Structure 1
């Protein structure tokens, strides 16, 4: 019912957004052509129209927008190629034509309400020196019911399939939520002596042990019984979509929950966006628009995956308690002996607090000291761990050295 109501309201408002877009373009084209658009009154009007135009959410994956990258002293074309296409996710390869082989790196994007393009800055930083692949998760509302379910085990299975597709000698880097699944996949592959088990894994700002320094996100997940989440947050995809009838945790609920945690900051950002548009500060406005274009592009999670994540990761803490299973069998993390481990945390992270990711170091008890490393990045919050100036200048060099050392 809630999904149908949301979709009806979104459809109802579409003509309003369209009218705002057409009016703004008319003013820009017609009045701009005779030199009257650059006045305070008209700039305020067109800014207001653009703000109306920007209301609402997108449910389509934005473009990564990475066409070229600098490798050495030359610009190299980048092509997005589908290396493996599964119903719930594709393996995307950022292919480059270069002579020198580079470390093959699987970037495992979070499945938490946003598309993999949230990691655009991460990928851009990695590409010059790595052969990068990324998990491109599918919006669950676009997956037909006949395909079946997608839960915690299926996520781990996808990571294993992706690594097998890339082949032996690859590395894996997980951002936020999939740190648990990547660690689990590495252990399962080690137990089975899978030749494609990664040479190294990098776990960045992930909820390995949410009992440590609980955040608001952790407290919310433990404040209600599991059936409360199922009754109040799970909806059914309405007719008109490929996944009609599938039970999902809608992306519009997820982004609303995240915004409510920092509502004052988001309101301020939109006020500043309007002011920049009205004042003609287009470069400043472009940065804010790019962020919110990505932030407001949402995808739905399958109900199974969402509820199992709440239970396994946030309520029962199966991984740090040593009782995590895969397809009914216990996972023995002592089997990880050859995969080098780097954990990274942000000093000001209010989503995965300090101590939650480094817990992986104590779980992988068979790793020798030279195969372990932890880094606490000063002065950054959650997104600063894998995006922005400190990621590029301080975190990534450590990731690069970690990968190169394991690749040697």
Structure 2
């Protein structure tokens, strides 16, 4: 009962702050307040507007908001979202661009299950849609899943990925971002042994912790300092009475959000202070840069407790993937069984979440894969977000990913960066596996 009451106490605090913000905003909206020259009233109303919006967004799943894509014919083509596979903990959805011929490139984007919804990849999806047919893993909020649906840990996550890949066929190109990188690798190895004909055509791994010990970050340091017992005691709670998943053990989204914000508290405090002043002066917009970012950033989802704990224990502490000792429901998964799937590793030089080397470790594990099917790229100056959704992704990494897909399919690459001389070059496996290697 204790963890459930703690969960409801956090939700009570959230609702209270949302109510206080709405009340302050309403006070400032009374016509009578216009008779008072004190600017404090405008500031209070502005504080209320920002506060109400911020705390309200924390329990809302953002919309994909992809109305249309411009086709090769110069016309806008409406994008419809279709559910291809529906499961209790996550669906496989497709973004179908209506009224255009199907593109030869077929991409499955594997979204992280790390506190935010799959909509975190919205800009990534939008950038791929003009040139690809795109599917994405749409993970569900654990607080909305009844206890009767059972457990969901890293084994189940891996099996979900394997099923989604098998559903889409052997010409699918998997692009995994951040947290699912090691499990996408494991799912491919699982298929290599169980159903070789269902393996994907290519596997692109972007900034994920295949070997967390390759280079330390605050994330890996935390995993080393805290025991599993301490971790379970500190972060795992039971979903409260208000939600369909009442009683389910979860790592609450609100608790995750508090952790995210504490890592850069000064930056977030300044961002909200500046936004309050912009609202007070009438300079803010409903979809301005601040709201566009924080509407997504503040929308958090609960993870099942068993998924979070098994990820920490098996990926970070025991390093099951890095040691090629991973298993799915007791069945060993041998990464060296991958012999036909071309693998492309992408890292950011300034990534402080999954540091350079952590994702690159995948190439060492692929002992059965020929060198010509391996590639790696280190993006200079890029942070974690930039390698899949920022400027680095748009200008350099996305073209490289599409060219890699085309090369493996026997098509000539046609998406090189505009200024190829200044573009970071792709690194081949032999030089990059060695420490201190530089791009060639």
Deviation at 1:257, TM superposition (A): 1.0
Query: Which has the higher mean CA deviation after the structures are superposed, 163-172 or 105-114?
Result: 163-172
- Between the two structures, name the one with larger relative contact order (CA 8 Å, sep ≥ 6): 1
Match of residue 97 from structure 2: 96
Aligned length: 403
Match of residue 145 from structure 2: 143
Structure 2 counterpart of 1:162, from 141, 152, 164: 164
Match of residue 354 from structure 1: 356
Match of residue 129 from structure 1: 131
| 1:177–1:206 Cα contact (<8 Å) kept | yes
| 2:349–2:380 Cα contact (<8 Å) kept | yes
Matched, 1:372 2:374: yes
| 1:333–1:363 Cα contact (<8 Å) kept | yes
Deviation at 1:8, TM superposition (A): 2.2
| 1:170–1:196 Cα contact (<8 Å) kept | no
How far apart are the structure 2 equivalents of 1:395 and 1:267?
Answer: 32
Match of residue 438 from structure 2: none
How far apart are the structure 1 equivalents of 2:218 and 2:140?
Answer: 27
| 2:54–2:294 Cα contact (<8 Å) kept | no
Match of residue 7 from structure 1: 11
| 2:21–2:47 Cα contact (<8 Å) kept | no
Match of residue 293 from structure 1: 295
Deviation at 1:275, TM superposition (A): 3.1
Match of residue 335 from structure 1: 337
Does the C-alpha gap of structure 1 residues 43 and 130 become closer, same or farther in structure 2, counting only changes over 3 Å?
farther
TM-score between both structures, scaled by the size of structure 1: 0.93
Query: What pairs up with 1:246-261 in 2 under 5 angstroms?
Result: 246-261=248-263
How far apart are the structure 1 equivalents of 2:290 and 2:321?
Answer: 38
Matched, 1:80 2:84: no
Deviation at 1:260, TM superposition (A): 1.1
Match of residue 425 from structure 2: none
How far apart are the structure 1 equivalents of 2:224 and 2:164?
Answer: 32
Query: What pairs up with 1:314-329 in 2 under 5 angstroms?
Result: 314-329=316-331
Does the C-alpha gap of structure 1 residues 196 and 376 become closer, same or farther in structure 2, counting only changes over 3 Å?
same
Structure 2 counterpart SS, 1:135: strand
Deviation at 1:259, TM superposition (A): 1.3
Query: What pairs up with 1:140-289 in 2 under 5 angstroms?
Result: 140-282=142-284, 286-289=288-291
Structure 2 counterpart SS, 1:106: strand
Deviation at 1:405, TM superposition (A): 1.8
Deviation at 1:59, TM superposition (A): 2.2
Structure 2 counterpart SS, 1:222: helix
Deviation at 1:389, TM superposition (A): 1.7
TM-score between both structures, scaled by the size of structure 2: 0.87
Deviation at 1:115, TM superposition (A): 0.4
| 1:188–1:331 Cα contact (<8 Å) kept | yes
Structure 2 counterpart of 1:398, from 394, 397, 400: 400
How far apart are the structure 2 equivalents of 1:293 and 1:162?
Answer: 29
| 1:116–1:135 Cα contact (<8 Å) kept | yes
How far apart are the structure 2 equivalents of 1:253 and 1:45?
Answer: 27
Query: What pairs up with 1:19-38 in 2 under 5 angstroms?
Result: 19-23=23-27, 26=29
| 1:23–1:49 Cα contact (<8 Å) kept | no
* Root-mean-square deviation (Å): 2.3
Structure 2 counterpart SS, 1:305: helix
Which deviations, in whole Å up to 9, do the C-alpha atoms of 1:92-119 show, x marking residues without a partner? 1101121143321111100001100111
Match of residue 59 from structure 1: 59
Match of residue 118 from structure 1: 120
Unpaired runs of at least 5, structure 2: 411-440
How far apart are the structure 1 equivalents of 2:277 and 2:342?
Answer: 48
How far apart are the structure 2 equivalents of 1:101 and 1:393?
Answer: 21
How far apart are the structure 2 equivalents of 1:286 and 1:272?
Answer: 13
Deviation at 1:21, TM superposition (A): 4.4
Match of residue 433 from structure 2: none
How far apart are the structure 2 equivalents of 1:48 and 1:21?
Answer: 7
